[in-house]
Amino acid sequence: MSMTNALLQEFENEAGTTRRVLERVPEDKLSWKPHPKSMSLGVLALHVAASPGVICGWADEGVTQFKGEASPTPSSTDEILAAHDKSVAEARATLQSSDDNRLLTTNWKLRAGGQVVSDAPRHVALRDMLNHLAHHRGQLTVYLRLLGATVPAVYGPSADDQRFA
């Protein structure tokens, strides 16, 4: 199996898991924050929802200039789910149009504040960014637990979802 196909297969599995988490976001708590320094539930959920398309789009570029723009605030769980579905379709298309040679032999750079903060082969950058997405999805499950919402199984059972038990 090619590296590109393996990444795509893993991405498809992760996307389904992410959607299950996003479906649990309580619409009446979108502005809730566990701490003043934290993102709100809605901003975090929309960040998680939109990240696959953004991540794959970035990895498809040679250089990305991070601008540090404020994250948008969603007004509904449906908006978050629609953003996720769109993002997954964009990521899928980008991954399907890629190939192993490009992933292995070309680099991707991230610039912020005029400095290069990352310069890595595309396959490494893509993996790092998808791991970053899993980190934020984990944060989101903690938010859900703190709010008393049901937490779906992710890599194993949760107290609310025993599908792996």
Per-residue pLDDT of 112-126, as tens digits, reads: 988 999 899 988 888
Q: Which pair of structure tokens corresponds to residue 97?
A: 């149009």
69 pLDDT above the threshold of 90: no
75 pLDDT above the threshold of 90: yes
Task: Provide CB contacts within 8 A for 110, sequence distance 6+.
Answer: 58, 63, 64, 66, 116, 117, 118, 119, 125
Q: What pLDDT score was predicted for residue 61? A: 79
Question: Which sequence spans correspond to the domains of the chain?
Answer: 3-147
Where residue 165 falls among pLDDT bands split at 50, 70, 90?
A: low
Whole-structure pTM value: 0.91
| CATH superfamily of the 3-147 domain | dinb family like domain (1.20.120.450)
41 and 31 Cβ atoms separated by less than 8 Å: yes
Q: What pLDDT score was predicted for residue 135? A: 95
Mean of pLDDT over the chain: 91
Mean pLDDT of 36-46: 97
| Comparison of pLDDT for 58 and 112, the residue scoring more | 112
Query: Helices in the chain by DSSP H: which ranges?
Result: 3-22, 41-60, 77-96, 100-105, 122-147
Residue range 125-144, pLDDT digits in tens: 888 888 889 999 999 999 99
